[in-house]
Amino acid sequence: MQQRAELLIRVRRYFAENGALEVETPLLASATTPDPNIPSFTTAVANPGDSRRYLNTSPEFAMKRLLAAGSGSIYQICKAFRQGERGGLHNPEFTLLEWYRPGFDHHRLMDEVAALVIGLAEGYRAFGTEERLTYGDCFQRYLELDPYAADVSCLKTRAEQQGLEINSGLADMGRDGWLDLLMSHCIQPHLGQNRLSFVYDYPASQAALARIRPGSPPVAERFELFLDGVELANGFHELQDAAEQRTRFEEELGRRQENGLED
């Protein structure tokens, strides 16, 4: 309890010293997340008409409304709720730190995440030399595979070669599903061993709400941070094209319906 309290003090001190305002947004929302893989908790209020409400899976959209109103850099420490999140590393109710830095790309955000984590760990743990790898670097290093070009057949074959059990439920999995499987089972355990490991430039198909940088191949300007084989954080160079954002929301809601989740 004392260590947790000290951790929260350090978080707030860091952002106070670095120009970010602490905010608080509602835990209840009138709409669920568009993420196709996250089921929400639902509840109801005693108002006539539309009474269904959703516990927030993250404060992202509420905080982005503040950003749109001109808040500047903001952060929040809050509870988040996700159905199906249960296990050794997950809980359906958990505490989340989320922040936004207008004008920062994903590389500047990685700099800040590293500074924050090192500061929070001071006196508790020291880290070796930080590493930053592209998503492609990871697959080349640990699987000798180009994740931007490999098709489903190639990914499935590599999974079998790695000894992963391929049951009938995985047979119809799409390309990103196979990439996620290989990443989580064959690559992630190697990442962040006694150091901070950042993975960035994900496939464009995994952009979520990050910008896509044109190129060959195009990549999503987002990252994830790993320590001891566990993902600790993720960040985006945020998409700011309203038309593109609407298109992605509609696509995600379509996949959400296919997965049998509320939209």
Over residues 16-38, the pLDDT tens digits come to 999 999 999 999 988 888 777 78
The pLDDT tens digits for 237-253 are 999 888 998 888 888 77
* b (16+ CB within 10 A) / e for 109-122: bbebbbebbeebee
pLDDT score of 173:
85
Phi first, then psi: give them for residue 138, nearest 5 degrees: -60, -45
The pLDDT tens digits for 107-116 are 999 999 999 9
Instruction: Report helix, strand or coil for 213.
Output: strand
User: Do 118-236 and 1-44+53-104 fall under one CATH topology?
Assistant: yes
Among 196, 107, 184, CA closest to 139: 184
Among 242, 133, 249, CA closest to 190: 133
The count of other CB atoms within 10 Å of the CB of residue 125 is: 11
d(CA 157, CA 228): 27
Q: Please report, for residues 55, 84, 164, 222, the alpha-carbon distance to residue 81 in angstroms, rounded to integers and kept in the order given.
A: 6, 10, 31, 23
Confidence of residue 157 (pLDDT cuts 50, 70, 90): very high
Token readout for 28 is 């209840």
pLDDT score of 262:
67
Residue 18: which residues within 8 A CB-CB, separation 6 or more?
A: 112
Higher pLDDT, 24 or 126: 24
Residue 124 has pLDDT above 80, yes or no: yes
pLDDT score of 260:
67
Q: For the domain bounded by 118-236, which CATH number is listed?
A: 3.30.930.10
Q: Percent of the chain scored above 70 by pLDDT?
A: 97
Residue 191: which residues within 8 A CB-CB, separation 6 or more?
A: 138, 197, 199, 226, 229
- Segments making up each domain of the chain, as ranges: 1-44+53-104, 118-236
Classify domain 1-44+53-104 at the CATH topology level: BirA Bifunctional Protein; domain 2 (3.30.930)
How many residues appear in the chain?
263
d(CA 157, CA 185): 15
Residue 263 has pLDDT above 70, yes or no: no
Confidence of residue 11 (pLDDT cuts 50, 70, 90): very high
